[in-house]
Chain A
Amino acid sequence: MILAGLSLQACRRSRIPSALWAGAGLTLFWLLLAVGAPVIAPYDPIAQDLTRTLTGPSLAHPLGTDNFGRDVLSRIIWGTRLDLAMGIIGVAVPFAIGCCIGLIAGYLGGLAEMLLMRILDVTISFPFFVLVIAIISLLGPGLTSFFIAVSLVGWVSYARLVRSQILVLKHMDFVQAARALGYGRLRIMMRHLLPNAVVPAIVFSMSDIVLVILLGSSLSYLGLGAQPPAAEWGVMIAEGQTFMASAWWISFFPGLAIVGLAFGFSLLGDGLAELFGSRE
């Protein structure tokens, strides 16, 4: 006990976890890249230059050019916009829907909750990835279908997280006190329950962004997400595969970009988890 206390003291010294700083820094870097793409990117991401196809990394083209002579670096920089948007929108919408449903089901209980739990059981039985692919197959390939599919499936995890939190919070003193003061249901839910219940969902959303970015780029690789000639990393990797024997750089660098973008959010998630004292 004493030992644990002593080593805990050491950890508590620094208030903000270093993972949070690193993650915030890395994510900010990608955000700036996405916003400043027109200024930062040295070339037009779509303009073809058939005189300079498949050239390796050089001073003029640090990451080489692809089979249409497009600059790989510029395409990666522009691609940040698409991949970042896929991650953020693909999580924000399910997050909002899931929190609302979880809140209502957890607080009201009864039929609403039972219905939700059955839907949860069934949705969890489907592989997330496969269900999204199946929905996209019905809607037709493209980013819009991707966002619809992710929203239809992704809210489930958030609803489950928020509901389980609400079930605990509902019986806590401060909620009972709010009820005794005669506050309305809506006020108790929005002002007292939601802010407390949402923390685990926020922590989870960071690792969820990583998964959604991976999902989006995978689908684009398969030809079901962003469509060529869009500068999207998964699309670039797919286009490069044909030329992998002679021009490895076309597929290689976009993959690194995915890893780097995901790394930022993973670190953010670790930092937030540490900050809020919850463990995986």
Chain B
Amino acid sequence: MERFKFILTRPIQLIPVLLGVSVISFIMVQSIPGDPVRILLGTRATVEVIAKVRAQYGLDEPLWVQYLLFLKNLAQGEFGRSIIFKTPVLDLVGTRIAPTVFLLAYGVLLAVLLALSLAVLSARRRGALPDHLIRLYSTAGLGLPSFWLGIVLLILFSVRLGLFPVSGWGEGFLGHLHYLFLPALSIALALSPILIRNLRASLIVEMESDHVVAARSRGVPEGRIFVRHVLPNALIPTVTLLGVNIGWLIGGTVVVEQVFSVPGLGSLMVSSIFARDYLVVQAITLAFAAAVILTNFVVDIVIVALDPRISL
């Protein structure tokens, strides 16, 4: 348990990072083109109202005071109002989180299943035809655009075969599973090549490692050697890689949500950009940054659980 003490200390270490993230957000809000009060109030506001709001938000104060006010607002969950939806940004973002989280988790799950089965097949039958095909996929697939995959899957399974809906995210858990299958598969197909490459390479290293030879010398059956000795060691670098790629993965989700009109954070972000609804864009950016920090924290916990040699 000693090794898991970082779970308590890490949040303190993250304070500088969180401050940095808030500075970047602040800079973004500051660089919003046009007068922020006009954006906040719309074009029909009177001069008096504008002056009042300026004072209220401290816009006449020096920059560092504005930053402190900004921090205070963040801490209170005050992200301003959306100019399009006329609702508090926080509420708006809140309603859109669930589809995105569901899609991300679904995509990662499919990607891991895909990577695990293909990498194991490839590594165990090295040099055979399946191995060559999987290696081709895992190299050529590095450049697979998830949005294009989404469209190809739509053409095949929705338009031609009518198996899956074209858009939306459905009702209830099973509905989500059904509606989000193609979006999640697009994410998984785009993400899995890099995982397969990494896992295949580390599987091969482990299969030829000394401790596997030693286990074999004790008469441990090959199947058990693979599950108990090869896999647990080979998974460690792949989990790390998955953590490194979480940011990229979130980006992919933004685009895939757009392809399938999933009512999540990504499609809200894109529509807000075109509507110049900057406060929404900024809040979503912050939300995604928080998601990355959180995921990396979780990945660290998993790594420490998998590898007894590591203590953070």
Contacts and interface: CB of A to CB of B under 8 A. Distances in A.
Find out whether A and B make contact in their complex, taking CB atoms under 8 A apart as touching.
yes
A134 B282 contact: yes
A189 interface: no
Given A125-B21, A223-B274, A130 B251 contact: yes
B33 A138 contact: yes
A28 interface: no
B interface, size bucket: 35 or more
Interface in A108-167: 118-119, 121-122, 124-131, 133-138, 140-141
Contacts of B274: 223
Contact of A237 (B28, B148, B269): B148
A234 B172 CA distance: 33
A260 B148 CA distance: 13
A135 B28 CA distance: 8
A168 interface: no
A130 B201 CA distance: 30
B283 to A, nearest CB: 11
A265 B143 CA distance: 9
A131 B281 CA distance: 10
Contacts of B288: 126-127, 130
Interface stretch (B47-55, B109-117, B150-158): B150-158
A194 interface: no
A127 B251 contact: yes
Q: Which of B20, B33, B142, B155 has the most CB of A within 10 A?
A: B142
B155 to A, nearest CB: 5
Interface in B144-183: 144-149, 151-152, 154-155, 159
Interface in B237-279: 246-248, 250-252, 254-255, 258-259, 269-270, 272-274, 278
Given A127-B248, A133-B269, A218-B147, 20 more contacts: A122-B23, A125-B293, A126-B289, A133-B251, A133-B254, A137-B273, A138-B32, A140-B33, A207-B142, A213-B143, A218-B146, A221-B258, A244-B151, A252-B151, A254-B148, A255-B148, A258-B145, A261-B143, A262-B143, A263-B142
